[in-house]
Amino acid sequence: MADRSVSVAVIGTGRAGLIHARNFASRVPGACLAALADPSEQALAGASQELAGVSAYLDPAEVIADPAVDAVVVATPTVFHEGIVVAAANAGKHVLCEKPMAMSADECERMIAAARAAGVKLQVGFMRRYGPNFAAAKQAVERGEIGDVVCVRSLTHGPSIPKPWQYDISKSNGPLAEVNSHDIDTLRWFTGSEFREVYAMAGNYRCPEAMADFPDFYDNVVMLASFENGMQGVIDGAVSVRYGYDARLEVLGTRGVLLLGELKGDGVIVCNDKAGEARRISSSWRDLFKHAYLAEDESFVECIREDKEPRVTGLDGKMAVAVVEAGNRSIREGKPITLC
């Protein structure tokens, strides 16, 4: 496929889907946006208006069946990922699946098996691995600049109120999946090891509207972890914080510490006699990680054109989902959970 453009369809035209669609429409060399699909007429109409001239389908199966489509990006709610990814793989389409990869590790395994059997690429959307700041941090750790890694702490706080379906843990797997999948993958990446045991504590502090119908929903979670290689980890997750989008990383070593990310968004600080000191804060992950999304999409196309293994594989997605399952079980049972 190195001699022609890769034709990409985006299934799911919400916030993440539109980021990918805009990239493939004009920003990714060697690729073109062929189609959009979304069962929501309103969402599809909005995306089609912005990305004029691109085929639009209400039924994702029509996109998957289109012989002109080489690859798909799956950016639907998580509960639909397995069915769409397996169908796409069976149809010979390469797949970039947004995180969380699926609702369970078993679903992930079936997705991996389908891609393997079809001989297609399966990449999972942990875009932080493609961000230049995260890549530089990882390289610094690998060079031994802080000695041996002891503990990795990752924090993600989101400002938005969850969508109604996200309150239902059976359909979303909760904030550990929707928000902290990135943190879980970051801990695996920087420790170079698999999770051995997790202990998670959670509660609902900012979303009273969910309490009556969804008493198990949580908007704040802290998870402690140990790893097979002896390292330690901490994840701090929250939704509906309202103050802004907040993503930070701390890697503590035997001879130093690495810090990545800060609350202030663009580095601009304003001081005056009325407000004192004021700093702009990143309002959205879409702004903070827009370059990482583009690099992720570019890498996906490169893997297809050059027949290379994706940097973030189905196994990476599966292991993160397994940790989400263990974390949610720990919350329910109030005890540490050992991963197999």
- The residue behind tokens 């890498």 is 299
Residues 6 or more apart whose Cβ sits within 8 Å of residue 278:
269, 270, 271, 272
pLDDT of 161: 93
Domains by residue range for the chain, with CATH: 6-128+290-312 (3.40.50.720), 131-288+320-338 (3.30.360.10)
Q: How far is CA 157 from CA 160, 220, 239, 308, in A?
A: 9, 9, 6, 34
- 212 pLDDT more than 70: yes
Quote the distance between the C-alpha of residue 3 and its chain's center: 31
pLDDT band at 267 (very low <50, low <70, confident <90, very high): very low
pLDDT of 1: 64
- Tell me the backbone φ, ψ of residue 171, rounded to 5 degrees: -105, -15
Residue 325, token pair as written in the block: 């399952």
Beta bridge partners, 7, equal: 32
Would you call 189 helix, strand, or coil by DSSP?
A: helix
- 270 pLDDT more than 50: no
Would you call 243 helix, strand, or coil by DSSP?
A: coil
pLDDT tens digit string along 99-155?
Answer: 999 999 999 999 999 999 999 999 999 999 999 999 999 999 999 999 999 999 999
- 266 pLDDT more than 60: no
pLDDT band at 265 (very low <50, low <70, confident <90, very high): low
Residue 126 CB coordination number (10 Å): 26
* Sequence-ordered alpha helix ranges (H) in 119-242: 132-142, 169-172, 174-178, 181-191
pLDDT band at 283 (very low <50, low <70, confident <90, very high): low
Residue 107 CB coordination number (10 Å): 20
User: Could you give the CA distance from residue 221 to residue 237 in angstroms, rounded to a whole number?
Assistant: 5
181 and 224 Cβ atoms separated by less than 8 Å: no
User: Could you give the CA distance from residue 223 to residue 176 in angstroms, rounded to a whole number?
Assistant: 9
Number of H helices, E strands in the chain: 12, 15
